[in-house]
C-alpha cells in the first residue's frame, strides 16, 4: 500500500511538473512575441494607473499573441 501511495504521489508530481513546464514555456513565448512586447508596457501602465481594467488589458495582450475569445 505504501508503495502504491508513493507511486500515486510521484505520478501527481510528474503531472504538475509537466504543466509547470508548459506554463513556463508558454509565458516565455508570450512575453517574447513581438506584438506583445510592443504593447505590454503601455497596457501595464494603464492598468496600474486605473485607466484600463486588467481583464481588458489581458484580452488585448492575448489578441496580440493570436488568442481570440
Q: Is the pLDDT of residue 1 over 90?
A: no
Please check whether residue 60 is in contact with residue 33, taking contact to mean a CB–CB distance below 8 angstroms.
no
Residue with cell 501602465: 45
Q: Is the pLDDT of residue 2 over 90?
A: no
Give the other-Cβ count within 10 Å of 57's Cβ.
20
Q: Is the pLDDT of residue 69 over 80?
A: no
Residue with cell 503531472: 15
User: pLDDT (tens digit, 9 = 90+) per residue, 9-67?
Assistant: 999 999 999 999 999 999 999 999 999 999 999 999 999 999 999 999 999 999 999 99
Quote the pTM value. Answer: 0.81
Residue with cell 513565448: 29
Residue 63: the pLDDT is 97
Amino acid at each position: 500500500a505504501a508503495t502504491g501511495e508513493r507511486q500515486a504521489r510521484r505520478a501527481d508530481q510528474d503531472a504538475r511538473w509537466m504543466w509547470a513546464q508548459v506554463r513556463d514555456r508558454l509565458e516565455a513565448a508570450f512575453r517574447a512575441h513581438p506584438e506583445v512586447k510592443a504593447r505590454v508596457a503601455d497596457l501595464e501602465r494603464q492598468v496600474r494607473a486605473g485607466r484600463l481594467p486588467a481583464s481588458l488589458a489581458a484580452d488585448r495582450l492575448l489578441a496580440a499573441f493570436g488568442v481570440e475569445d
